[in-house]
Copies of this chain bind each other. A is one copy, B any other.
Amino acid sequence: MSYYHRHVFFCVNQREPGTLCCNNFGAQAMRDYAKERVKALKLDSKNKRIRINNAGCLDRCNEGPVIVVYPEDVWYTYVDKEDIDEIIEEHLKNGRVVERLRI
């Protein structure tokens, strides 16, 4: 069994102004929102074992903002909190990949 049932990495990289990067799309705020939601839903509990993490540049800048869910290796982009809510509810909680946000 994997240490974390689902381990989610948000690219929160900030590059120089004028350069494409995930944090131009508010990635850090979205990661913070996701972490709060996962905690509120108790998905970070010992039996659920969902972990939300910051990460440096994941090198998919042109497709950003991006997150990756391991160990499943499912990659997503997102626009707003509704997208994050859907990923949390559908994928992290219920194990159903959100195809419309997949990259």
Q: A7-B68, A70-B7, A70-B71 are in contact. Are A56 and B59 (CB under 8 A)?
A: no
Q: CA–CA, A3 to B70, complex, Å?
A: 11
**Interface-centre pick from A55, A56, A75 (highest chain B CB count, 10 A):** A56
A90 within 8 A of B: no
Q: How many residues of A contact B (CB 8 A)?
A: 20
> Is residue A2 within 8 Å, beta carbon to beta carbon, of the partner chain?
yes
Q: Are B2 and A73 in contact (CB under 8 A)?
A: yes
The one of B3, B57, B73 in contact with A3, judged by C-beta atoms closer than 8 angstroms, is: B73
A78 at the interface (CB under 8 A from B): no
Q: Which 6 A-B pairs have the closest CB atoms?
A: A54-B56, A70-B70, A2-B73, A71-B73, A71-B71, A55-B55
Which residues of A come within 8 Å of B, CB atoms? 2-4, 7, 9, 51, 53-60, 68, 70-73, 75
